[in-house]
């Protein structure tokens, strides 16, 4: 069972549909107790960093996510949900969840790149992990973001992508994984990735 954190910030309908398409049971939950005891936890997110962190804290979700992470069971953050796994973001002043050391910084558009980074891009996998195993050479994932993650420890970097230079597009520390892109909008490649995460 995949439990999706329902804290009012995220594309949860598409995630539910994707889970069902890969044959996985999924539920939405705004109950911190249920979140803390989940089998697998998915943290979505779109919008502004401080708005999301405020909702996590006001609903007691931050403590529940920390309690879940300590169990060693799989946690996946998507898009803003990945950035929330880190300590901070230039986008705001609130603290992140601090599960992976690092922060988010805005893309530098002085070289002429458009911000936000929006559209299809590929991964440059940096270390082995079940979630990225066996991706076909023609894989592509859908990105929409203005801020990019910078990890404090390069060993937490699972994959990079290239947009005006390479940036961290996936992170992983033990049972905590983050994907900057939207697997639920990435067709067969996103289905493969979520299926592998759900079965690992």
Q: Which residues are catalytic?
A: 79, 182, 184
HEC string for 138-181? CCCEEEEECEEEEECCHHHEEEEEECCCEEEEEEEECCEEEECC
Query: Quick check: 186 and 170 in contact, CB under 8 A?
Result: no
- CA pair distance 189, 139, nearest whole angstrom: 6
171 beta partners: 157, 178
């Amino acid at each position: 069972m995949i439990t999706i954190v329902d804290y009012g910030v995220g594309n949860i309908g598409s995630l539910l549909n994707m889970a069902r398409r890969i044959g996985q049971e999924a539920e939405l939950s705004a109950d911190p107790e249920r979140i803390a005891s989940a089998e697998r936890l998915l943290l979505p997110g779109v919008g502004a960093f401080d708005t999301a962190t405020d909702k996590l804290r006001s609903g007691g979700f931050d403590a529940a996510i920390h309690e879940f992470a300590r169990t060693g069971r799989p946690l996946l953050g998507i898009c803003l949900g990945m950035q929330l796994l880190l300590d901070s973001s230039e986008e705001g002043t609130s603290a992140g969840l601090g599960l992976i050391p690092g922060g988010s910084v805005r893309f530098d558009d002085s070289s002429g790149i458009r911000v936000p980074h929006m559209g299809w891009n590929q991964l440059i996998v940096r270390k082995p992990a079940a979630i990225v195993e066996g991706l076909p050479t023609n894989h592509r994932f859908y990105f929409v973001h203005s801020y990019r993650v910078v990890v404090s420890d390069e060993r937490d970097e699972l994959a990079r992508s290239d947009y005006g230079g390479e940036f961290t597009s996936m992170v992983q520390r033990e049972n905590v994984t983050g994907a900057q892109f939207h697997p639920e909008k990435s067709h067969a490649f996103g289905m493969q990735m979520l299926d592998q995460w759900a079965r690992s």
